[in-house]
Amino acid sequence: MYDAITWEVRERVGILTLNRPERLNAINDVMRLEIAEVLRRAEDDEEVWTLVLTGAGRGFCSGADLKARAEAGAAAATPQPPSEGPYAYPIAFGELSKPVIAAVNGPTRGAGCNMAFAADFRIASERADFGVNFVERGFMGETSAYYLPRLVGQALASEICLLGEPFDAHQAKAWGLVSAVVSHEQLLPEALALAARINAKAPLAVRLTKTALRRAYSQSAEQHLEMQTTMNGELRGTADNREGVQAFVEKRPARFVGR
């Protein structure tokens, strides 16, 4: 169905795999548009509660396909609105209401880092490494320069973005950029196990909590509290809210249905 990605749903987990292994999953226009289409599909699909993002072959994503961009010539440099342009897909991972887990299976550069850093969780294979190497190609740090200060603080974000030097999975773990480093063979099972843990919670509450977390940097405490009050009003009385309270009273695991 897709040319540059694959998409499947397993037990309420959508698995999005970047699928240009011969180019280390470099992002071309086809992949960018297909990612955007799948994220819209995932948002609307009631059977998808969580999304896992990974790469085919030995790499997660080597960044933008600069060869394809060079061949496209001046057309590739035409400015586009943020909602349609080359940065729309990493922003879309953050805007997706459902949690995103990046299962980083190998080398990750440039725009690949944009996607990984936009995820809510990052798990890395021991074979993974990262490089926010835009400055080495004459570009600026794109959305990595937005996400990194929020993930690791301004000083480390400056080091990562302004030097553009690669770092391995264990360094990423030490910086708090990934939550776990696992064997390559266990990467997808670990990501799916994490998705299952998330999916054991009330999905509507999880989605609104993600929204609240994402908006925390742009609101005052009073604005955030007002938003939380509105969100809890939306959740109060839902089937999952009633089930969560009843399960607590009966001292049993809750069985959520997403309503």
Number of Cα atoms under 13 Å in the Cβ half of residue 75 = 5
Question: Fold for domain 5-199?
Answer: 2-enoyl-CoA Hydratase; Chain A, domain 1 (3.90.226)
Q: For strands 107-109 and 129-131, give the pairing.
A: parallel
The CATH number of 203-250 is 1.10.12
- Rounded to 10°, the helix 111-118/144-152 angle is 50
pLDDT digits (tens, 9 = 90+) for 167-193: 999 999 999 999 999 999 999 999 999
Tell me the domain boundaries of the chain: 5-199, 203-250
pLDDT of residue 81: 47
pLDDT digits (tens, 9 = 90+) for 77-97: 544 444 455 556 788 998 999
Assigned token pair, 107: 């080398």
pLDDT of residue 160: 96
Bridge partners (DSSP) listed for residue 125: 182
Dmax (CA) for the chain in angstroms is: 65
φ/ψ region of 182 (left if φ > 0, alpha if ψ in -120 to 50, else beta) reads beta
Percent over 90 (pLDDT), the chain: 81
Residue 137 pLDDT > 50: yes
Confidence of residue 74 (pLDDT cuts 50, 70, 90): very low
Is the pTM for the entire model greater than 0.75?
A: yes
Confidence of residue 241 (pLDDT cuts 50, 70, 90): very high
